[in-house]
Amino acid sequence: MKIAVCIRHVPTRDWQPRLDDAKTWVREAEATFEMNEPDAYALEEGLRLKEKHGGEVVVCSAGPARVAQVLREALARGADRAIHVQSDNVAGADAFVVASALAGAMDGEQFDLVLTGLQSDDQGFGQTGVILAEKLGLPHATIVMEVSAAPPSVRVKRELEGGWFQWVSMPLPAVLTIQSGINQLRYATLKGIMAAKKKEIKAVAPPSVAAAKVRIASLYVPEKSKKTRLVEGAPAAAAKELIRLLREEARVIS
C-alpha cells in the first residue's frame, strides 16, 4: 500500500502563547514547535498498515522552512520519504488553504490511503482531512478508531456521540481522519534517527495559494479569576440554597 500521512507543526503545549501585535495569531518567532499529537497517531497507524501490507509511507506537510524538523522526526520513526510544501503563507492559515496546498503536492502520487489527524492542537478546525478528500475527489471517514484494510477496500470503526460506534466500508483510495488514542505511539530510535538523515525530503512550491475561507478577527488570552460566595443562614436553608446555586448558576449538578 502507498500511504500518505499529513502532519502539522504546532507550538508545543508547554509554551505560554504570546499574541502578535495584530492579535490575530501567536508570535511564532518566539515559539517552540512539535508534531501535532493527533497526526502522530495517524503516522503510527500508517506505519502499522505498512508493516502488515507492505508498501511505503510518505509524510506530507505544508508550511515554512521550520516544518522540515517535524518531517525529519516522522522519517526517524519509520516513514520512507517526505513531501514539504514550502510556503510562509500557509503557516497559521485555515483548513481550506492547508488542504489545497497538500492536495496540489499529492497530485500524481496515486496514494492508496491518505491519513490525517482528527484535528490540530493549535486551531482545532477538524476540517483539513475532509476538505482534502473533496479536493482529491476521494471518499472519506472521520473520527476513525480502528482500520482494517483489505485492498481494494478498507473497513473502519468510527466514534459517534453517546458512546456509539459505526463501521463503514469504502473503496480505496480513501482519506481517513484518525482519532487520538487509536494506538500506542512509537518513538524514534537511534538507528531510525541516523537512517532519517539519508531519506528524501522533497521540497515543492504550492501551485498557488488558495484564498482563505476563514479569517481570525482577534485572539485573547483567557483571564484567570477567582470568586468566593458565602452561603449564610440556618443549616437546612443554607444547604437548600447551595443546591440551587450549584444547579441553576454553576450548573454542575442536574
As beta bridge partners, residue 11 has: 33
Q: Quick one: pLDDT at residue 235? A: 92
Q: Quick one: pLDDT at residue 61? A: 95
Rounded to whole angstroms, the Cα distance separating 139 from 133 reads 6
Q: Quick one: pLDDT at residue 46? A: 97
- Give the helix/strand (H/E) hosting 143: strand 140-150
Q: Quick one: pLDDT at residue 67? A: 94
* pLDDT tens per residue across span 5-54: 999 999 988 888 888 888 888 888 888 899 999 999 999 999 999 999 99
* CA-to-CA dists, residue 203 to 68, 118, 150, 215, angstroms: 9, 25, 32, 27
Among 21-30, 68-77, 132-141, 182-191, the minimum mean pLDDT is found in: 21-30
Rounded to whole angstroms, the Cα distance separating 228 from 214 reads 39
Q: Quick one: pLDDT at residue 125? A: 87
Q: Quick one: pLDDT at residue 227? A: 79
Rounded to whole angstroms, the Cα distance separating 146 from 155 reads 8
Q: Quick one: pLDDT at residue 239? A: 92
- pLDDT bin (cut points 50, 70, 90) of residue 73 is very high
Is it the case that residue 168 has pLDDT exceeding 90?
yes
Summarize the confidence of residues 85-89 as an average pLDDT: 88
* pLDDT tens per residue across span 176-232: 999 999 999 998 999 999 999 999 999 998 877 778 888 888 888 877 777 788 899
Superfamily covering domain 2-204: HUPs (3.40.50.620)
What is the chain's mean pLDDT, rounded? 92
- Give the helix/strand (H/E) hosting 84: strand 81-86
| C-alpha cell belonging to residue 237 | 436553608
* Residue-range domain boundaries for the chain: 2-204, 226-254
Beta strand residue intervals within 151-219, DSSP E: 153-159, 165-171, 174-178, 201-204
Q: Quick one: pLDDT at residue 70? A: 95
